[in-house]
Amino acid sequence: MRFADGVLPVAAAVALFVFAVRLAHEPRRLGNAVWLGVALLLTGLWLLRQALHLEWLTPVLVVVLGAVVVLVALVLPIALIVNGGRMWRREGRSTGNLLSLALGVGLIVLEALFFVPLGRWGSALVTVAAVLACYFGFLFLSLLVYSVLYSRVGRRGGLDAVIVLGCGLSGDEVPPLLAGRLERAIRLYTRESAPPLLVVSGGRGPDESVTEADAMHAYLRDRGVPEDRIRREDQARTTEENLRFSAALLPEEARRVVAVTSNYHVFRAAVECRRLHLPFHAVGSPTAHYFLPSALLREFAALILHYRRTTIAACVVIVAAVVLLTL
């Protein structure tokens, strides 16, 4: 007991120190989110142990922990399923739009399996799934917290250029999601004493009558941005191409650059900038609340795939540990 009380705060302080050093050196790394998550988890465990020493606080902690269990086990899956149904109706039946629905159903099935007699190895399989769910849940929450933090520490002023990443059109019209990005770019443009160059990036999709770059260019011109302050990149189809092709259009003297995207996409765009060796940061625009769960899950899946070797190694360790315990 006393050993844990001494180790936990030291371990939390070390994790927080490592996080601070990494953040100062390079904020566009997924590992920063993990170190922050570890620091917060260890701090929470230490505070919980300290609170358990106070007898009058024990009933309060039982109630709080019980509420957390109910939220995670019941409220969260139901909320995800409801959100998935809403995404299905509003945004279509694409795989990305059904992520929240699939996750909600998966959590309910996993919880139900704990009450089914499956034998030794069946129970081990369910345990593996539960541990993996906790692992990915920890990563997701860490990334969510760090994404909010990153959005507060990115470049805010003294910009030479702003790149606006495309996200699809409605025919030849700018949809609300893309309009939010453009409005954020306009705010960045108007607050600078020397207005930065605006680069609008996006090619033409199969169901679009014009390129995203042309539609965004028209949107900016209608709102008073001068023609000579806009450049169009009309070939990109992915975030990587958005950034790489837009960087090629920037003048050599443009050193202070940000990429504008939606708030759920900010950190992945920043990670992509780092991967491409571009000294850009990313900023976000607001997104409709109902759209966020599926969008955040898509971004998380993309980042996990980006670091797939680390992810596979962690999963192998988890599976091996459960199998050894079962044996």
What tokens were used for 87?
Answer: 């995404």
pLDDT interval class at 120 (50, 70, 90): confident
More confident residue, 19 or 121: 19
Cβ(163)–Cβ(243) under 8 Å?
yes
pLDDT interval class at 157 (50, 70, 90): low
Q: Give the tens place of pLDDT for each residue, 5-23.
A: 678 889 999 999 999 999 9
> Which domains can be identified in the chain, with CATH numbers?
54-152+307-326 (no CATH), 157-287 (3.40.50.620)
Q: Give the tens place of pLDDT for each residue, 201-225.
A: 999 888 788 999 999 999 999 999 9
Instruction: Name the residue with tokens 């300290």.
Output: 50
What tokens were used for 142?
Answer: 């860490």
Dihedral (Cα; 5, 11, 16, 18), 10-degree rounding = 170
Where helices occur in 92-175 by DSSP H, the ranges are 99-113, 119-153
* Element containing residue 55 per DSSP (H, E): none
Mean pLDDT calculated for residue range 149-162: 80
**Residue 201, beta-bridge partner list:** 165, 233
Q: What is the pLDDT of residue 154?
A: 60
Closest listed residue to residue 128, CA positions, set 316, 318, 325: 318
pTM score: 0.87
The DSSP secondary-structure symbol of 209 reads S
More confident residue, 69 or 11: 11
Q: What is the pLDDT of residue 2?
A: 57
Rounded Cα distance between 129 and 122, Å, is 11
- Sheet architecture: strand order including 197-201: 230-233, 197-201, 161-165, 257-262, 281-285
Q: Give the tens place of pLDDT for each residue, 71-118.
A: 888 898 999 999 988 888 887 777 777 889 999 999 999 999 988 888
* Element containing residue 60 per DSSP (H, E): helix 58-70
The Cβ-side half-sphere exposure at 310, using a 13 Å CA radius, reads 11
